[in-house]
Structure 1
Amino acid sequence: MTTTSFAPVFVSSETAKAVFDWTDAIRALQSAYARPVAPKSAPPRTVAAAGKTWLRTLPAVPAGGRYYGAKIMGMAMDAAVPGVEYVIVLFDRETSRIAAFVDGNLVTGFRTAATSAAALDRLAPRGPARLAVLGSGLEATMHTRAIASVRDVTEVVVFSPTPERRAAFAQAVTRDLGIPARGASSAQEAVEGAELVLAAARSKGEHPILFGDWLTLGATIVSIGSTIPEQREIDASVVARSDIIVCDTLEEVLDETGDMLAAHEAGVAFRDKSFSLADLMSGAIDERLKEARTRMYKSVGGGLQDIVVAELILGKAIEAGLVTPLPIEFETKR
């Protein structure tokens, strides 16, 4: 008697980095969000917490994909050496079995930046553009590379509070992408005159780092740093200045991010000009886009992004023979 093995595989961050491609990920996300996204297929993230321990879950069942699953991350802040680990669990529609465990650390950065670039590709006018970057960490690094894959970036100007970090960031951009880059001594200096603005760093005191009167008329803004009520990144004046606001998860961005809560408290009306990423990708707001001059994409991240990018990475890793088979098999309840 023969049995079929359904042993899952593991995909490391090293493998994810080796097989990842910005263009493929951006196109996959644009395709995923162009399909109707049923509310139950990508429900809101959930957070379980007790004391200094928390666990966050982001599930999704993308339409049309082979895999579905969830990203799980957690941290015990009072552990001897606290840190966050991420795992994306993929189930296979064809077998209904657990197919893979993907290290979600780098994937989280990849999917956030690729989704931002997917949105910016539909929001920002075509043509050469200067990119202002506020922040010099992993997200800023990944977003710069993702944006450069969909637009002709003529120059990158970066602001980070530490001169050494912004200098290193600029050097890496020129070395890796061949794009002229330089540091700026202030966020305002970086932003002035830029057609594309990336806000990817909150201040330590949770004060806004980007203001509306700094923006060039017609600029496109990507804001990714304020994802919960306690966090701040952009001033209410940026919300007021934006003619259209696209959100990856509409309700979460509008109701659960510090920036939008502050804008509401300041009396800024934004709900009638805010739309979902699915609205953007499906073409439902094309007419509104024609009238909009200053445009913003604001993100909190979502399980749909994780699963779409993880599926892409898993497929490439299998093809390249880079997955690690696991000597385990789960018992199936029937």
Structure 2
Amino acid sequence: MRIFGAGDVWEHLSYEACIAAMRDAMVTFSEGRAPSVPRTFLDLAGGNMFGAMAGSLGSGDVFGAKLISLFPGNTRHGKPSHLGLVALFDPLDGSLSSLIDAAALTAIRTASASAAATDALARPDARTLAVLGYGEQAETHIRAILAVRPIENIRVWGRDPERCARFADRIAAACAVPCTPAADIARAVAAADIVCTTTAAVEPILYGRWIAPRAHINVVGFAGSDAAEIDADLVLRARYIADSRASVLAEAGEFRSLLRNGTITDAHIVAEIGEVYSGRAAGRTCGDDITLYRSLGHIVQDLAAARTLVDLASGAALRSIRL
């Protein structure tokens, strides 16, 4: 069995490879060829949670599980909010083949899934990126989206102006793209081609009236059945595309609230992203469309990222133990 620590994940799992893996995995999922069980969460004290999810990438392919703790307050101390492990099993004999740091894997695969969706849904000439948040997911989303669009200008917003300014300076230096802190969210997203929400907000902070026609939105932040980073107007204006229909109906607060009051039906989910990748459903239908990818995360994404990591690191000298 091989053990991949956080450093191993960051060293070997490239955004480009992970983006391709996300496309393939979500096609497999939407075609019903990647069985999984609904993820479960155990409520802990102080708003923290412990989650478990299990699945397979299909007959004869890897299967496994993810065990993860969700401690949102960690971000205030510079620690990841998601901590845990992903376990991969060999499909030939059922043996445990790999244990992988889930914090690093989740950071890269979540951003890569958004980048894959952005590549399919955003306009080819998209050049301006707005990111809400300045944590780890904000940085990984910037790096992943730079792999699919030639971004020329980045704007970031966060609740603490000083931290936001430091983050913008670091991103500009690391990515060689101008990155500007915005005084408020409306200014951050004004006329932006691509917007990513990566905050822990449980009430709307992004409003549809601020979003220009032709924009693409990745809604990535806190998932909760009664929580919402975006308002009802943005849900109604956008072509709403899910990673998983079932996940949206169970966990996407901004969608569920409109469903409960009868404003929309399940049909407002125009497609799963895997259906867009395979050509079974349309993503952007005209230039003025606002497209929205709702990222809730799925075990097939973790397994696909994990398998890609193992393949990329196959020649590396990593820790191993015999069970």
- What is the TM-score with the length of structure 2 in the denominator? 0.89
Secondary structure, aligned partner of 1:289: coil
1:45 aligns with 2:39: yes
Task: Report the CA distance shift for 1:270/1:176 in structure 2 as closer, same or farther (over 3 A).
Answer: farther
Match of 2:16 among 23, 27, 38: 23
1:324 aligns with 2:322: no
In the TM superposition, 1:1-334 aligns within 5 A as 8-35=1-28, 37-38=31-32, 41-49=35-43, 54-63=49-58, 66-74=61-69, 85-203=83-201, 206-242=202-238, 244-265=239-260, 267-269=262-264, 271-274=266-269, 275-286=271-282, 289-291=284-286, 293-321=289-317, 323-326=318-321, 328-329=322-323
User: Residues of 1 paired with 2:67 and 2:195: CA distance?
Assistant: 30
> 1:92-144 CA deviation, whole Å, 9 max, x = no partner?
11332110111111101111111111111101110142011111111111111
Task: Report the CA distance shift for 1:103/1:125 in structure 2 as closer, same or farther (over 3 A).
Answer: same
Q: Is the 8 A contact 2:34 2:300 kept in 1?
A: no
Cα offset, 1:270, TM superposition: 5.5
Alignment match, 2:76 = none
User: Residues of 1 paired with 2:90 and 2:23: CA distance?
Assistant: 22
Cα offset, 1:25, TM superposition: 0.5
The range that moved more, 296-305 or 254-263, is 254-263
User: Residues of 2 paired with 1:276 and 1:314: CA distance?
Assistant: 27
User: Residues of 2 paired with 1:135 and 1:120: CA distance?
Assistant: 18
Alignment match, 1:3 = none
Cα offset, 1:256, TM superposition: 2.1
Alignment match, 1:5 = none
Secondary structure, aligned partner of 2:209: helix
Cα offset, 1:261, TM superposition: 2.1
Cα offset, 1:65, TM superposition: 7.2
Cα offset, 1:299, TM superposition: 1.1
Task: Report the CA distance shift for 1:143/1:84 in structure 2 as closer, same or farther (over 3 A).
Answer: closer
- What is the TM-score with the length of structure 1 in the denominator? 0.86
Task: Report the CA distance shift for 1:252/1:175 in structure 2 as closer, same or farther (over 3 A).
Answer: same
Stretches of structure 2 that go unaligned for 5 or more consecutive residues are 73-78
User: Residues of 2 paired with 1:26 and 1:126: CA distance?
Assistant: 17
Secondary structure, aligned partner of 1:43: strand
Q: Is the 8 A contact 1:68 1:93 kept in 2?
A: yes
Q: Which amino acid is the alignment partner of residue 242 of structure 2? A: C
The range that moved more, 35-44 or 109-118, is 35-44
User: Residues of 1 paired with 2:62 and 2:34: CA distance?
Assistant: 16
Q: Which amino acid is the alignment partner of residue 259 of structure 1? A: E
Q: Which amino acid is the alignment partner of residue 27 of structure 1? A: A
Cα offset, 1:264, TM superposition: 2.9
Cα offset, 1:24, TM superposition: 0.7
Secondary structure, aligned partner of 1:29: helix
Task: Report the CA distance shift for 1:74/1:154 in structure 2 as closer, same or farther (over 3 A).
Answer: closer
Secondary structure, aligned partner of 1:153: coil
> 1:45-104 CA deviation, whole Å, 9 max, x = no partner?
122457778531121211377421011124799xxxx98631111001133211011111
Secondary structure, aligned partner of 1:213: helix
Q: Which amino acid is the alignment partner of residue 18 of structure 1? A: E
Cα offset, 1:159, TM superposition: 0.8
Cα offset, 1:325, TM superposition: 0.8
Q: Which amino acid is the alignment partner of residue 116 of structure 1? A: S
Higher alpha-carbon Rg: 1
> 1:19-48 CA deviation, whole Å, 9 max, x = no partner?
121111101111222235427613321224
Stretches of structure 1 that go unaligned for 5 or more consecutive residues are 1-7, 330-334
Q: Which amino acid is the alignment partner of residue 271 of structure 1? A: D
Task: Report the CA distance shift for 1:270/1:174 in structure 2 as closer, same or farther (over 3 A).
Answer: farther
Secondary structure, aligned partner of 1:122: helix
Task: Report the CA distance shift for 1:65/1:222 in structure 2 as closer, same or farther (over 3 A).
Answer: farther
Cα offset, 1:238, TM superposition: 0.7
User: Residues of 1 paired with 2:188 and 2:199: CA distance?
Assistant: 14
Q: Which amino acid is the alignment partner of residue 96 of structure 1? A: G
Task: Report the CA distance shift for 1:40/1:145 in structure 2 as closer, same or farther (over 3 A).
Answer: closer
Task: Report the CA distance shift for 1:84/1:218 in structure 2 as closer, same or farther (over 3 A).
Answer: closer
Task: Report the CA distance shift for 1:84/1:110 in structure 2 as closer, same or farther (over 3 A).
Answer: closer
